[in-house]
Structure 1
Amino acid sequence: MEKYLPPYVITNEILCYVSSIMEKIGKVSTFDNLSRFPILRKQNRIKSIQSSCAIEANSLTIEQVEDVINGITVIGPSKDISEIKNAIKAYEIAFDKNPFLEKDLKYIHSLMTKGLIETSGEYRITGEGVIDNNGNLIFLAPPKEMVPILMSNLINWGKNKFNIINPLILSSIFHYEFVFI
C-alpha cells in the first residue's frame, strides 16, 4: 500500500489543458535546441524569474529584472533586488539538480533565500499561515514538526511516480503540495 498519496482529481478539463500545453511544448521542441535562440531563452528566463518573485510580493518590474541580470544597478527595495539575484543563481543551476533529492531541493532553497531568512536551505522551524486583510486566518500550514516527514513523503512520492504520471501533472501536484507543506 502506498504511504503517501496527495489529494488530486484529473478532470476532462484538466486533461484538455494538459494536452494543449504538451502540444505547444512539442512544437517548441521541434526547434531542436533553444540555444539557437538566445534572445528568446533570455526573455523567457526574465519573465519566469519576475513572475516567480512577484508571487511573493517582489515589486521589481520585468525591465528591472532584466537590468539586474545584465549587471545594471537598479533602484528598488534591497530585499527585492537580493531576491531576484538569488533567483537568477538558482535558475542557472536548477536543471543540474534532482528535484527528488532532499539535499538538492534544500540547496536550491538555500540559493533562493540566501540573506533573506535565517534558516536558508532548511525546513521551516516556525508555524506558518495566511491571513487576509481583515485578520482572518485563511490557511494554516501543517505544524513545523511534521515538515521533515511530509517533505520526505512528498519527495519519495514524486520519485516513485516520475515515469508514471505525466510530467506536467506530476510537477503541478508536487508544487501544490510543496507550497501546502
Structure 2
Amino acid sequence: MVKPADYQPPYTVTPAMVSDIAEISEMMGRYTALAEQALTPRLRRANRIRSIQASLEIENNTLTLEQVTAVIEGKRILGHPREIQEVQNAFAAYEAMPTWRASEKHDFLAAHKTLMQSLVNEARHYRSGDVGIFRGEQLVHMAPPADRVPTLIANLLAWLKNTAEHPLVSSCICHYEIEFIHPFADGNGRIGRLWQTLILKHWKPILAYLPIESVVRDRQNDYYQSLALADQHADATPFIEFMLNAIKEAVEEAGTSDPVTDLVTDPVAALLKAISTNALSTKEIMQALNLSHRPTFRKNYLYPALQDSWIERTQPDTPTSPTQRYRLTRKGLTWLKP
C-alpha cells in the first residue's frame, strides 16, 4: 500500500505548461491590480452565476443563465425540481468556499454534501459500488474499485497539502484525480471543478470570480477528450495542458472585458442594434451580426443582454422553444432611442 507521504500523481511538466503558467501569472499580475475596483460585487455575483450555470450545463442541467439567475434571486421559475435544487446547492457550495481547505477530507466531504443534498441519498459518503463512465453506450473509464476510494482520496489530499507544485498545476492535477477516482456515486464532475476553483482561490482570490467553468463548457468536447487521453496514458499531462489553456482563456477574456457593468458592452450594443424594433430568433440575430460560433454568441452577446435585462424572450416560460424569439425590453428600447 502506498503511504500518503509517498504518493505522487503521474504527470510531467511540459514546456507548454511552463509557458502557460508564465503567461497566466503575468496576466494575473496586471489584472489583479485592476480587479479589486473592476470586479464590483454585482459583477462578482454575475460571474459566479455564469460559473454555476456552465458547470451544471456540463452535467446536462437545461436551465438557462436567466433561469439560474432567477433561482438564485429566490424567484419562481418553470423548471424541473431536481435542476432547481442543483442550482441552489451549487450556489451554496460556491458561497461556502472561503470556509473550506482543499487538503482536508472533512471539507471535501462537506462540499459534496452541500452540492448533492436532497439529490442523492449518499451525499457526503464515498460510493459503495463499482462504477464505469459511459459516453452513449461506450465505456470510456472504469473507476477504481470502491474499496480503494478512501485510500486514494487520502493519498491525493495528503499530496495536495505537502506539494511544492505551482497551484495552477496542482489544481489541474487534483481536478483530474477526482474525476479518475470518481469517489462518489454522483456529483464527481461538479466537485472536481469546484475543488480546482478552491485551490486557485487560495493562490489568487480573484480567480474565485472568473467563470473558468464557462470556458470548459464551451470546449466540452476538448475537456472530455483530454480526460480520455490522460486515462489512456495513465498520465494527467494532457488534462493539465487543456485546463491551463482554459484558465488562460478565462483570464484573457476578463482582462479585455468592459468592467463597467452599468454600461452596454460592445457585443451587447451590437446585438441591440441588430434586433432593433423586431423580434428575432437566435439564428436571425447571429446572421445579422455575421456570427457563426454559437458558444461565443451565447457567452458574449445573448447571455449578458438577458442577464442585464436589455432583451427578453417572447416565450419566457419555454426558453428552449424552437419558435423562441428575442426582443428589446423597455430598457433596451430606451438605450436604442435615447
Greater mean deviation of Cα atoms: 136-145 or 17-26: 17-26
2:20 to 17, 21, 35: 17
- Residue equivalent to 2:144: 142
1:66/1:24 CA distance change after superposition, 3 Å: farther
Paired residue type of 1:106: L
Alignment of 1:14-53 (within 5 A): 14-31=17-34, 33=36, 37-53=40-56
Structure 1 residue 30, shift from structure 2 partner: 0.6
Larger relative contact order (CA 8 Å, sep ≥ 6): 2
Structure 1 residue 158, shift from structure 2 partner: 0.2
- Residue equivalent to 2:90: 87
- Residue equivalent to 1:118: 121
Is structure 2 residue 70 aligned with structure 1 residue 67?
A: yes
Q: C-alpha offsets along residues 31-73 of structure 1, whole Å, 9 cap, x if unaligned? A: 3636961122011101111111122111111111111111111
1:10/1:37 CA distance change after superposition, 3 Å: same
For the pair shown, the structure with the greater C-alpha radius of gyration is: 2
Provide the C-alpha distance between the structure 1 equivalents of 2:30 and 2:38, rounded to a whole number of angstroms: 16
> How many positions carry a matched residue from both structures?
178
- Residue equivalent to 1:172: 172
- Residue equivalent to 1:107: 110
Structure 1 residue 20, shift from structure 2 partner: 2.2
Gaps of 5+ in 1: none
Provide the C-alpha distance between the structure 2 equivalents of 1:20 and 1:143, rounded to a whole number of angstroms: 39
1:3/1:169 CA distance change after superposition, 3 Å: same
Kindly indicate whether the alpha-carbon contact (under 8 Å) linking 1:34 and 1:41 is maintained by their aligned counterparts in 2: no
Paired residue type of 1:130: I
Structure 1 residue 91, shift from structure 2 partner: 0.7
Q: C-alpha offsets along residues 137-177 of structure 1, whole Å, 9 cap, x if unaligned? A: 1110111100000000000000011xx11111111101110
Q: C-alpha offsets along residues 66-106 of structure 1, whole Å, 9 cap, x if unaligned? A: 11111111222211110110001111111221111100110
| Percent identical residues | 36
Paired residue type of 1:168: L
Kindly indicate whether the alpha-carbon contact (under 8 Å) linking 1:35 and 1:41 is maintained by their aligned counterparts in 2: no
- Residue equivalent to 1:160: 162
Gaps of 5+ in 2: 182-338
Provide the C-alpha distance between the structure 2 equivalents of 1:9 and 1:104, rounded to a whole number of angstroms: 28
Aligned alpha-carbon RMSD (Å):
1.8
Provide the C-alpha distance between the structure 2 equivalents of 1:6 and 1:105, rounded to a whole number of angstroms: 19
- Residue equivalent to 1:130: 133
Kindly indicate whether the alpha-carbon contact (under 8 Å) linking 1:101 and 1:155 is maintained by their aligned counterparts in 2: yes
Provide the C-alpha distance between the structure 2 equivalents of 1:76 and 1:32, rounded to a whole number of angstroms: 35
Is structure 2 residue 61 aligned with structure 1 residue 58?
A: yes
Greater mean deviation of Cα atoms: 29-38 or 150-159: 29-38
Give secondary structure in 1 for the equivalent of 2:6.
Answer: coil
1:61/1:153 CA distance change after superposition, 3 Å: same
Paired residue type of 1:46: I
Q: TM-score, normalised by structure 2?
A: 0.50
- Residue equivalent to 2:265: none
